[in-house]
Structure 1
Amino acid sequence: MSVSAFNRRWAAVILEALTRHGVQHVCIAPGSRSTPLTLAAAEHSALIHHTHFDERGLGHLALGLAKVSRQPVAVIVTSGTAVANLYPALIEAGLTGEKLVLLTADRPPELIDCGANQAIRQPGMFASHPSQTLSLPRPSEDIPARWLVSSIDNAMGQLHAGGVHINCPFAEPLYGDMDDTGLAWQQALGNWWQGDKPWLREALHLESEKQRDWFFWRQKRGVIVAGRMSAAAGKKAAEWANTLGWPLIGDVLSQTGQPLPCADLWLGNARAAAELEQAQIVVQLGSSLTGKRLLQWQAACEPDEYWLVDNLPGRLDPAQHRGRRLVCDIERWLELHPAEKRKAWCVDIPRLSEQAWQAAVAQRDAFGEAQLAHRIRDYLPEQGQLFVGNSLVVRLIDALGQLPAGYPVYSNRGASGIDGLISTAAGVQRGSAKSTLAIVGDLSALYDLNALALLRQVSAPFVLIVVNNNGGQIFSLLPTPEAVRSRFYAMPQDVHFDHAAQMFGLRYARPQSWAQLDEVMSNAWRQPAATVIELVVNDTDGAQMLQHLLAQVSHL
């Protein structure tokens, strides 16, 4: 019997089973113990292969692919700390609903806890963060192939959102030519190999019932809070709100077009707060809100009814409102709950929104990150997409920008970390083949610098804007002690990114005016390559501009 040949057949069943659940993309890091999985994936003609030498970045690349494709994406890594590097992407997927399948190669049991090289305790290492876990035994012909394939089907069939961790121990030898070892074992699955359906089909269906009293509530004074949703859902939500005559407070990730822009500014105005108090019902479409003032208002509001609609299960409401948690695809929910044409009931809020927007317009000429956030719509590629980083940049765009309705916007706003942002953006581009604009801060770029290697393989124009304010300037918005803010919070690094771009063979520019940026952007969209654009700005200007506009609008 050839151990290496049977390992390969075992792995081939796993990969084939995953394709029956929609897996098309597989992300692979180098490693020896993962050889059976890697070779089985390489030989599978239906799989699209992606490689990266950094497992943390690899996990986020898979996350980006899953965001766009809305299908599960497989990740193959070797044993040891390679597995642990997938943790951040797994956590993010669990919070935002992408489906990741982590295939982690492992040492067999006799090599664990005995001093063997690269052997750690991998089963259960991700604790409660995977939605499903499966710890496989060492490959053996004593275990029927139908057990293996049905175990994969069972884990995938119960997956609504988040990650599946499948731990795969393999004994040596790992290399060798294929022979007939295990052929009969593999062929015992019969004509399953010629089909495209799972061996075991499980129908997991999570959806709340249609609300029978909607006809009553749609006649009341309502407010719509739009959180993270798809581009198609965002466009429909904006039309739905307009028909109802209800104000829509749109998050940067809502893709609703933010019909009342600068919400993070005007929500600090007492007249807006007073008008919103008249609402009898609040319907929140999508979770994961960004704006601080929106979160403060959402926590304080006390309507007669608070409905939260999202495809993900769980409460998703940190304010713990008394109301209804409705699990449903947002587009489908809007279809089940049609709007009734009514006159808009808010008067002050539209005026305040327009005044807040004009206040931002008055500041747009200075060359800085707040102004970039306000101007961001001007730089979006046609028929493209936007990826927004975390910390200060996403808050500035949320507060000062206005994105087109239905324009795809992506971000990692589940755990809101700065790790893996460029890798995720690379996955978003690969999964869609669309022109992509990504914006991150300088510390975020440094954190994921290895991901610049992934940008050498883009299939459409890709622009990465690094806003270099020399550190984590979001801490300028927080009451951090000024005496130690620079050293222990902002941590300025005093670096530029021209050498990094050069090292990975990427085009680079450092414009110093809007005219120069316009020219660089125009050239960047003309060819399918990646361009790194570094905007060097004064460190605290963006945070100070936001605070200045907040104070100005609050007194309108």
Structure 2
Amino acid sequence: MSVSSFNRRWAAVILEALTRHGVRHVCIAPGSRSTPLTLAAAENRAFIHHTHFDERGLGHLALGLAKVSQAPVAVIVTSGTAVANLYPALIEAGLTGERLILLTADRPPELIDCGANQAIRQQGIFASHPSQALSLPRPTQDIPASWLVSTLDNALGSLRSGALHINCPFAEPLYGEMDETGTQWQAALGEWWESDQPWLRAQTSLESAKQRDWYFWRQKRGVVVAGRMSAAEGKLVAEWAQTLGWPLIGDVLSQTGQPLPCADLWLGNARAVTELAQAQIVVQLGASLTGKRLLQWQATCTPQEYWLVDPHEGRLDPAHHRGRRLVSRIDEWLALHPAEKRHPWVNAIPGLSRQAWELTTRRCESFSEAGLAHRISRYLPQQGQLFVGNSLVVRLIDAFARLPAGYPVYSNRGASGIDGLISTAAGVQRASGKPTLAIVGDLSALYDLNALALLRQASAPFVLIVVNNNGGQIFSLLPTPQNERERFYLMPQNVEFAHAAAMFSLAYHRPESWNALEEALENAWRRPGATLIELVVNATDGAQTLQHLLAQVSQL
């Protein structure tokens, strides 16, 4: 009996089972212990293969692929700390709902806790963060193939969101020519190999019922809060709120067109908050809100009912409102709860929003970080998409910009970390094939610098704008101690990114005016491949502009 051959056949069943649940993208890191999984994936023609030498980036690449494809994405890594590097992407997927299938190769049990090389305790390594976890046994013909495939089907079929961790121990030898070992074991699955269906089909959908009293509530004074949703859903939500005559507070990830722009500014105005206090019901469609003032208002508002609609399970409401938590796709929920044409009930807020927008336009004329955030809709590629980084840049775009309704916007706003942002953006581009604009800060870019290797394979124009404000300027908005702020919070690195772009053979520009930026973007959108554009800006401009406009708008 050839151990290496049976390892391969065992792994082939695992990978084939994934195809029956919609997995098309497989992300693979180099490693020896994962050889059976890697070769099984390479031989399966159903897969699109992606490779990266950094497991942390690989996990985020898979996350980006899953965001756009709306299908589960598989990741294959070797044993040891390679597994631990998947943790950040796994946590993010658990909070935002993308489905990741983490196939982690492992040493067999007799090599654990005895000093063997690259052997760590991998069972349960991710604690409660995966939605599900499977610890498979060492491959053996004593276990029928039907057990393996039905075990996988049961887990994959019930995975509605988040990650499935499948730990796969393999004994040596891992290499060798294939022989007949295990052919009868595989053949026991019979016609399954020629079909495209799972061996075991599970029905585990969960959706909230239609709210029968909606016809009563839609006649009341309501507010719509739009969080993270798809581009198509964003347009539907905007039309729905307009028909109801309810004010729509749109997050940067809502893709609603933000009919009342600069919400993070005007929500700091007492007149706006007083008017919103008249609302009898708040309907939040989509979780994950960005703006600080929006979160503050959301935490303190006290309507008679607070409804939160999102396709993912869990409370998703840090303010713990009295109301209803409704699990549903947003577009399907809107179809079940139609709007009724009514006149708008708010009077002050539309005017406050217009004034805030005009003040922002005047304040953001100069070439600056705040100016980029305000003007960002001018620079979006046609038929493309936007990926927004975390920390200060996403807050400025949320507060100062007005993005087109239905234009795809992506971000990692679950755990809101800065790790893996470039890798995630690379996955977003690969899954869609669309021209992509991504914007991150300098520390975020440094944190994921080796992900620039992934951008060399961009199939369409890809522009990465690195806003270099020399450090974590988000901490300028927080009451961090002044004397320790620079050393322990901002951590300026005094770097520039021309050499990084050159190392990975990316086009590079460092514009110093709006005209120069527009020229660089025009050239970038005309050519396939990636371009890195570095905007070196005044360190404190973005944070100070936000604080200045907040003070102005609060006094309107």
3-state SS of the aligned residue for 1:130?
coil
- Write the letter of the residue equivalent to 2:362: A
Q: Deviations over 1:241-271 (max 9, x none)?
A: 0000000000000000000000000000011
Matches of 2:228 and 2:8, distance apart in 1:
41
Matches of 1:205 and 1:58, distance apart in 2:
29
- Write the letter of the residue equivalent to 2:180: D
* Equivalent residue number for residue 508 of structure 2: 508
* Equivalent residue number for residue 216 of structure 2: 216
Matches of 2:170 and 2:276, distance apart in 1:
60
Matches of 2:375 and 2:175, distance apart in 1:
55
Matches of 2:465 and 2:321, distance apart in 1:
39
* Equivalent residue number for residue 188 of structure 2: 188
Query: Following superposition of structure 1 onto structure 2, how do residues 348-427 of structure 1 map, counting pairs within 5 Å?
Result: 348-427=348-427
3-state SS of the aligned residue for 2:456?
helix
Matches of 2:332 and 2:248, distance apart in 1:
19
Deviation at 1:364, TM superposition (A): 2.5
Q: Deviations over 1:425-471 (max 9, x none)?
A: 00000000000000000000000001000000000000000000000
| Residue 241 (1) aligns with residue 245 (2) | no
| Residue 176 (1) aligns with residue 176 (2) | yes
* Equivalent residue number for residue 535 of structure 1: 535
- Write the letter of the residue equivalent to 1:184: Q
* Equivalent residue number for residue 455 of structure 1: 455
* Equivalent residue number for residue 44 of structure 1: 44
Q: Deviations over 1:458-512 (max 9, x none)?
A: 0000000000000000000000011110000000000000000000000000000
- Write the letter of the residue equivalent to 2:509: A
| Residue 299 (1) aligns with residue 299 (2) | yes
Deviation at 1:157, TM superposition (A): 1.2
Matches of 1:173 and 1:81, distance apart in 2:
21
- Write the letter of the residue equivalent to 1:37: L
- Write the letter of the residue equivalent to 1:150: S
Matches of 2:364 and 2:262, distance apart in 1:
14
Matches of 1:87 and 1:135, distance apart in 2:
17
Q: Deviations over 1:103-161 (max 9, x none)?
A: 00000000000000000000100000000100000000000000000010011111110
Matches of 2:375 and 2:482, distance apart in 1:
30
Query: Following superposition of structure 1 onto structure 2, how do residues 148-297 of structure 1 map, counting pairs within 5 Å?
Result: 148-297=148-297
Deviation at 1:18, TM superposition (A): 0.5
3-state SS of the aligned residue for 1:362?
helix
* Equivalent residue number for residue 11 of structure 2: 11
Query: Following superposition of structure 1 onto structure 2, how do residues 107-146 of structure 1 map, counting pairs within 5 Å?
Result: 107-146=107-146
Matches of 1:79 and 1:10, distance apart in 2:
17
* Equivalent residue number for residue 480 of structure 1: 480
Query: Following superposition of structure 1 onto structure 2, how do residues 323-362 of structure 1 map, counting pairs within 5 Å?
Result: 323-362=323-362
Matches of 2:166 and 2:432, distance apart in 1:
27
* Equivalent residue number for residue 546 of structure 1: 546
3-state SS of the aligned residue for 1:255?
coil
Query: Following superposition of structure 1 onto structure 2, how do residues 307-318 of structure 1 map, counting pairs within 5 Å?
Result: 307-318=307-318
Runs in 1 of length 4+ with deviation above 6 angstroms?
none
3-state SS of the aligned residue for 1:165?
strand
3-state SS of the aligned residue for 2:102?
strand
Matches of 1:306 and 1:126, distance apart in 2:
34
Q: Deviations over 1:406-441 (max 9, x none)?
A: 000000000000000000000000000000000000
- Aligned pair count reads 556
3-state SS of the aligned residue for 1:457?
coil
- Write the letter of the residue equivalent to 1:404: P
When the two structures are superposed, what TM-score results if normalisation uses the length of structure 1? 1.00
Query: Following superposition of structure 1 onto structure 2, how do residues 485-504 of structure 1 map, counting pairs within 5 Å?
Result: 485-504=485-504
When the two structures are superposed, what TM-score results if normalisation uses the length of structure 2? 1.00
Unaligned runs of 5+ in 2: none
Matches of 2:297 and 2:472, distance apart in 1:
26
Unaligned runs of 5+ in 1: none
Matches of 1:481 and 1:33, distance apart in 2:
48
Matches of 1:242 and 1:194, distance apart in 2:
51
Deviation at 1:74, TM superposition (A): 0.2
Q: Deviations over 1:359-383 (max 9, x none)?
A: 0111232111111000000000000
Q: Deviations over 1:328-367 (max 9, x none)?
A: 0000000000000000111100000000000011123211
Percent identical among aligned pairs is 80
- Write the letter of the residue equivalent to 1:376: I
3-state SS of the aligned residue for 1:197?
coil
* Equivalent residue number for residue 23 of structure 2: 23
- Write the letter of the residue equivalent to 2:73: V
Deviation at 1:291, TM superposition (A): 0.2
Q: Deviations over 1:169-196 (max 9, x none)?
A: 0000000111110000000000000000
- Write the letter of the residue equivalent to 1:428: V
* Equivalent residue number for residue 71 of structure 2: 71
3-state SS of the aligned residue for 2:21?
coil
Q: Deviations over 1:300-347 (max 9, x none)?
A: 000011000000100000000000000000000000000000001111
Q: Deviations over 1:35-84 (max 9, x none)?
A: 00000000000100000000000000000000000000000000000000
CA RMSD of aligned residues (A): 0.4
Q: Deviations over 1:254-299 (max 9, x none)?
A: 0000000000000000110111011000000000000000000000
Matches of 1:476 and 1:114, distance apart in 2:
49
3-state SS of the aligned residue for 1:176?
coil
